[in-house]
Structure 1
């Protein structure tokens, strides 16, 4: 009897001696800001100096086709946090705080439920109603896994801000450039070869090298703490950027991100990929939460839409796997784009093709390259793709072969040789929008009225909303087809305000006084966004006096934040900003209840920036 008891004692002692070793892996997420994959050395940039990330890739997995589903931070974070598409949750509009259904729960809640110590240093801005910091054990500029209980597994996020687009703003960029001369840098063909563009590229290489050093410091700290063999490390950027046509664009430069994952030998059974290899299968931010849960042995909850690409519950990538991309309102400016890609072929659909492809935000115009790019266009110095970006209308469809055209400068949508692929990818996008119940089909200014303060996703999924009918109409409306004016006019009198919206959009896009009777009726619509859309259509049809008068009447009576944003967007597009009364500007600046973006508009109007 003594021998079994002795063996039991030895076993217990061994267990206690190993109590500080986690039974499940620690997870370290290192994120950088605003740098697309092409800025990193291991992704083929020979001018980059990123030795620590490159070394991590040599010992880990480099994902060749990793994507942020959205090309801007808050929208991307909401996708990551809950493992669900922002357009499903209703979190696709930049810095919005709309409510979301309780079924969407953060990966943090699942990990903490399993005893993990979860820290975030320190970006939040999760883009939905709630307390962003409350979900973490620690969330601050000092949050760190070292503060956990002894032996407690951790999941720690470190967000590196040195590569943010603002790092190229004159008041933040510091000495420049230090490593590469502006004359030496490679200028990709989607950008005009301007001195300011070259200088920003050279300066950003320095920022990337600094960021790489910070990645190294975090890895060294992990090693010094004796935790490297117990910790799975992810490095990725929060979306693309940073020079023009990067951030806020669903081109590769805006959404294709570097992603390197290092899985120590101890946890090698959790990955099917070869160490030091390159992974071809597409992955996206919507996949991160399910993957994280899979790495600690949990199955994906029903509300998560992504795919676990590592761990015990890994799902193999479908043979025809496609990443879903989306872009809607960024800061003050509205616009709706969707896309899909498998890493080789990319299809982009503009649902508001009457708008130019630049700008999608005013924030970027503190960057010298953006300012110079705009001035070169204004001065008539650009042609080809460089000029087209600033022109309206845009083509509603784009198709790119990323293998032969990685910078996406040759649109194949009108090429008969690719007609079959175009139709297939258009259908695939439409199917994906149906699958995820894309809430972007409902204009944001209508959300409060239609959803009654509840999540917009519940309204879109309700039996009272004709999702498929609205989706079909949105595709029809964005085609600029004069042959469809009759159908659009019928929808303009629909009982459904969302269908009326898309019908009026379609009539505006078609132009040439198409559907004038329906547009005049739209001026009396119950929803401001429809009245404004009708007024803008009048302006585009040569009836500027009537259209502007209707918009200014709307301005003096409307108080809803998103309706006002939409209205000022329209006033800008028809060059009617000078018509806005000074009294309205001054009152808006004094109004404590005015929305932040509406106030920004007022500030820009007052300063003459619009």
Structure 2
């Protein structure tokens, strides 16, 4: 198989909030991509936050392995010796392009792209003039110009990053810019099943749907450009996001709405159209899969932290059963965001076990959610109680994860106790194998040496 062009389209804070996953929204171009490609129904991310999760896409490693334990604009950076997806593809002969946002590093030149087409925005606090360069419709147009401008004799890899659905902060309030996009009447939108049906939540859902229309348009522009350039049949298109919706009990949490993510792949004539995969996969696997499809070997790492954590699911897509190793569990976690929130989780087909390592509210809200209409509707619900140090959910009986089966003094049922103990041990083994710093105690923020004060004799 000839190495295809690869177009990786990604956006902020989407989760699986698109029509092809059952959401009551109008996303015709995204749905068309799913109809003509492969949809992964149980795709989860390594972290319910931006930079750490994105770091897994680029390295095939968990955030605590590659150094991205917090946000890129908050003193966290990838380790210097990490092997990055665009760098590896460039070394294999790919021409590599970055369009729109990346939000993995404050130093985008280190990512290994041959050409960076867009000034790099970072967060909602970034000046609005910078955000404009990463809006979906703008970024998609930039990609279309590149795609239709050349012969592309050599394969190319294009990372196409959209700013939407990120909240934007102004005067202490974070919203989805409902006055910028065409939004439906809040009374007409469907509520989210994992949240109560309250006015502030409805207004945010409506504004979010306006932003979503821009993502759908951007996807359409990318697909049309490939068709117009005669590249569609030779291109693997991947569409994903880094974590769940920027809503309570989603972004910033290890509940399924926080770690679930869209994953759609299209490669005409190679991947089966309309296929739905319900295998457990992690976004840490996308790295290995794309290298596999491009016929690029995984890097050899001399590390003691488990090395490459992802495994290729290309054999699953190409019906090579002998080469495919299905997952029976995925891992996720969070350490730093706008504050310390150290959490690790293991999810199987039926069970979710979460270990919390700090004194935390019942549901942690990132600042952009806390200072939103939706966040204000649930402040008391989320911050009125302290979260348990251990959580266990039966996802078959309790898919919304409302009933922690090991709350209080622990389970009375011996079977539940055995399940808790088994998952607890599997999580600890994984943390040990990947050299998770939480096993050694609290993780200090960012570059602690730079921000600590030294005593006169040089000791801290």
The CA RMSD over aligned residues, in Å, is 2.9
What is the match of residue 274 of structure 2?
276
The answer on whether the counterparts of 2:25 and 2:209 sit within 8 Å (CA) in structure 1 is: yes
Q: Which runs of 5+ in 1 are unaligned?
A: 1-21, 378-386, 454-527, 529-557, 561-610
Higher helix share: 1
CA distance in 2, matches of 1:291, 1:23: 15
More strand by share: 2
Contact 2:181–2:211 (CA under 8 A) maintained in structure 1? no
Judged with a 3 Å threshold, the aligned counterparts in structure 2 of structure 1 residues 148 and 425 are, in CA distance, closer, same or farther, namely farther
Deviation at 1:183, TM superposition (A): 2.9
- 1:330 aligned partner: 337
Q: How does 1:117-156 map to 2 (within 5 A)?
A: 117-127=95-105, 131-132=108-109, 135-141=112-118, 144=143, 145-146=146-147, 150-156=152-158
Q: Does structure 2 retain, via aligned residues, the 8 Å contact 1:307–1:314? A: no
Residues in 1 aligned to 2:274 and 2:204: alpha-carbon distance in whole angstroms: 32
Counterpart CA distance in 2 for 1:71 and 1:329 is 11
How far is the alpha carbon of 1:203 from its aligned partner? Answer: 2.2
1:381-420 to 2 correspondence within 5 Å?
387=381, 389-413=382-406, 414-415=410-411, 416=413, 417-420=415-418
**Residue of 91, 95, 105 corresponding to 1:113:** 91
Does residue 3 of structure 2 align to residue 24 of structure 1? Answer: yes
Superposed CA deviations along residues 377-401 of structure 1, whole A, max 9, x for unmatched, are 2xxxxxxxxx2x3134311122223
- Aligned counterpart, 1:542: none
Calculate the TM-score normalised by the size of structure 2: 0.81
Match 1:372 to one of 355, 373, 377: 377
Shift of 1:151: 0.8
Cα 1:192/1:203, change in 2 over 3 Å: same
What are the superposed Cα offsets for residues 441-464 of structure 1, whole Å, 9 maximum, x if unpaired? 453338867xx89xxxxxxxxxxx
For structure 2, the 5+ residue unaligned runs are 119-138, 302-307, 455-460
How far 1:165 sits from its partner (Å)? 2.6
1:443 corresponds in structure 2 to: 442
> C-alpha displacement at 1:176, in angstroms?
7.5
**Is the 2:253–2:364 Cα contact (8 Å) retained in structure 1?**
no
Please identify the structure whose Cα radius of gyration is greater. Answer: 1
Q: Deviations over 1:125-157 (max 9, x none)?
A: 324x85546621122327644366741211111
Quote the Cα distance in structure 1 between the aligned partners of 2:400 and 2:81.
39
1:429 aligns with 2:449: no
The correspondence of residues 211-610 of structure 1 with structure 2, limited to 5 A, is: 211-265=215-269, 268=270, 274-303=272-301, 304-310=308-314, 318=325, 321-331=328-338, 333-352=339-358, 354-374=359-379, 377=380, 387=381, 389-413=382-406, 414-415=410-411, 416=413, 417-441=415-439, 442-445=441-444, 559=453
Q: Structure 1 residue 292: deviation in Å?
A: 1.1
Question: 1:315, 1:67 → 2: CA distance?
Answer: 24
Look up the match of 2:179.
174
The aligned counterpart of 2:51 is 74
Shift of 1:328: 1.0
* Cα separation, partners in 2 of 1:436 and 1:228, compared to 1, 3 Å: same
Residue 228 to residue 279, structure 1, CA distance change in 2 (3 Å): same
Match of 2:304 in 1: none
Higher relative contact order at CA 8 Å, sep ≥6: structure 1 or structure 2? 2
Is the 8 Å Cα contact of residues 308 and 315 (structure 1) preserved in structure 2? no
61, 72, 75: which one aligns with 2:38: 61
Is the 1:116–1:152 contact (alpha carbons within 8 Å) kept by the matching residues of 2? yes
Q: In structure 2, what is the equivalent of residue 184 of structure 1? A: 188
* Structure 1: distance between partners of 2:348 and 2:62: 17
The structural deviation recorded for 1:48 is 1.4
Question: Number of residue pairs matched?
Answer: 410
Residues 197 and 130 of structure 1: is their aligned pair in 2 closer, same or farther, counting only changes over 3 Å? Answer: closer
2:3/2:155 contact within 8 Å kept: yes
CA distance in 2 between counterparts of 1:349 and 1:171 reads 32
The C-alpha deviation readout for 1:272-315, integer Å capped at 9, x for no partner, is xx431211211112111111110111222234221111168998
